[in-house]
Amino acid sequence: MASLAFSPVNKAPSIKPETTRTNRSGFVKASLPSWRKRLPESHRVNVATETLVSSQPTTIEEVDRTGKLAAWTSVRHERWEGELVVEGQLPLWLKGTYLRNGPGLWNIDEYNFRHLFDGYATIVRLFFENGRLIFGHRQIESEAYKAAMKNRRLCYREFSEVPKPVNFLSYVGELASLFSGSSLTDNANTGVVKLGDGRVVCLTETIKGSIQIDPETLDTKGKFEYTDNLGGLIHSAHPIVTETEFITLLPDLVQPGYSVVRMEPGSNERKVIGRVNCRGGPAPGWVHSFPVTEHYVIVPEMPLRYCAQNLLKAEPTPLYKFEWHPEGGSYVHVVCKASGQLVASVEVPLYVTFHFINAYEEVDEEGRVIALIADCCEHNADTTILDKLRLQTLRSFTGVDILPDARVGRFRIPLDGSPVGELKAAVDPDEHGRGLDMCSINPAYLGKKYRYAYACGAQRPCNFPNTLTKIDLVEKKAKNWHEEGAVPSEPFFVARPGATEEDDGVVISVISCKNGEGYALILDASSFEEIARAKFPYGLPYGLHGCWVPKE
């Protein structure tokens, strides 16, 4: 076990408000806060010692100086842990662990994966306490990952990758194992959630890809086994998780539709709340995420639908395991949580979304629920966003703007029996650069009327979201953070204990820089200005979604 020693740094002076500068596009430039301007350069780059666990020593000189963006390169080591030097001041109330999951290893020796979603999962840990920050990361030890490391080849089907058959018989056997689900990956590289009973589970869209981890050591504890008999191969990668329940959707590929299921804290048994049958197309629409209100579950049925034929192919199509069926229409369904009954099913304009932001109930003057409002990161019904996430495309940005437009898509779903719903932009997309994805809110407002959303936006030209944006859905304005050449991951909101204002807290993001470096960024959620950052020993791959585990 190796350890590193770096020169100590002085305590950063207290932060003073900084005057922000805005460029012609309305974006706030990431000018250095005054406390960073005063620090000598040597005090900005050092990383304090804790423990390195790796096959070879890691030093600060190991940072790639060739100009590569760390976001699209494989993680340098299987695991690392150490205390970081904090530039600025972390709030003393910030006590707990931010976990971030995502694909972090995109190659097996000389074999390179093709798509962002293919990589083996890397879990990142940022532990905050008393103004200090401990950082660590580790590979999630799924069966897919362990088999790849042992055999030095792909052994399970990933998002766009298929194991190469040795001969025709092995190909036939692989197809048979696909139908049984045994060849599907358990690479839990998408999200991470803290269940109401305290267990922490990493997830992806395959049901078998539910893996429990230790939030302190990042050890893989084993597969999260569901004890029911609901069967199926896939589920929503983003369940709704609160202290009292776990709700998710199970797409049915045989009898096209969706089962809405609930799981109680402390249980591994999912129970069916209700079912929705598809209204259009030959298969269910992709349900990467979905929203809920206080009393209802909203089931999206978009025309980007699962396709068994594409799933069988050894080479990816432009839409991978999906097909676009606009002729079948787009729908949104509403299921009552209490009764499981379908209370509304409306047709809406065509849409494509990975991530819903939030939903709430619209009431009349007498307090009766008359409609549901559901917001999402909507890509203007443009399916090309999937193929724009090829690693080759992400790694070869030439300055040409190729990121498809996106907006805060707001659905209004009437509950008066009307067959048609609405879909419009909730704010002017130019407020956030016509790019939008990877969102979070104050969790106290889940399913309730809310004002603020935090997401990744765009400063163009770009080939991927490259800003952090705070969207005010009342004033219909956005505040944006941008640093030239950097790629930020999902901005994650953590509320201050005892807060009464919706945006009283901090926003945490992991930043990848163009010079191969990276750092943790902490913004004041109200002003959306930087209050602290902490440099990593090396840049990290781009990650997807996170969760907060408060310190007891």
Binding-site entries for Fe cation: 238, 288, 355, 545
Give the CA diameter of the chain: 69
DSSP assigned state of 71: G
Token code pair at residue 351: 């849409």
Q: For residue 180, what is the enclosing H or E element? A: helix 168-180
Burial class (CB in 10 A: 0-12, 13-18, 19+), 270: buried
Tokens encoding 266: 């402390």
CA proximity to 238, closest of 271, 202, 278: 202
Judging by beta carbons within 10 Å of its beta carbon (0-12, 13-18, 19+), is residue 19 exposed, middle or buried? exposed
Q: What gap in Å lies between CA 479 and CA 428, rounded to an integer? A: 13
Structure tokens at 93: 């109330």
What's the rounded Cα separation, in Å, for the pair 199 and 212? 7
Q: Which of 475, 474, 483, 431 is nearest to 455 (CA)?
A: 431
Q: Are strands 211-213 and 220-223 parallel, antiparallel or unpaired?
A: antiparallel
Cα 8 to Cα 43: distance, rounded to the nearest angstrom:
8
Distance separating alpha carbons of residues 251 and 32, to the nearest angstrom: 48
Burial class (CB in 10 A: 0-12, 13-18, 19+), 513: buried
Measured in residues, the chain has a length of: 552
d(CA 404, CA 394): 13
Binding residues: 238, 288, 355, 545
What would the two tokens of residue 146 be?
């362990």
> Token pair of 350, please?
């065509």
Residues near 440 by beta carbon (within 8 Å), at least 6 away in sequence: 453, 454, 455, 490, 491, 492, 493, 507
Cβ atoms 104, 141 nearer than 8 A: no
Q: Which residues contact 529 (CB under 8 A, 6 or more apart)?
A: 17, 18, 20, 33, 523
Q: Which of 54, 56, 42, 52 is nearest to 85 (CA)?
A: 42
The tokens for 190 are 């998408």
Phi, psi (rounded to 5 degrees) for 45? -110, -10
Q: Which two tokens stand for residue 206?
A: 């395959």
CA–CA gap between residue 31 and residue 9 (Å, rounded):
22
Q: What is the DSSP string of 18-45?
A: ----B-TTSPEE-PPPHHHHHS-THHHH
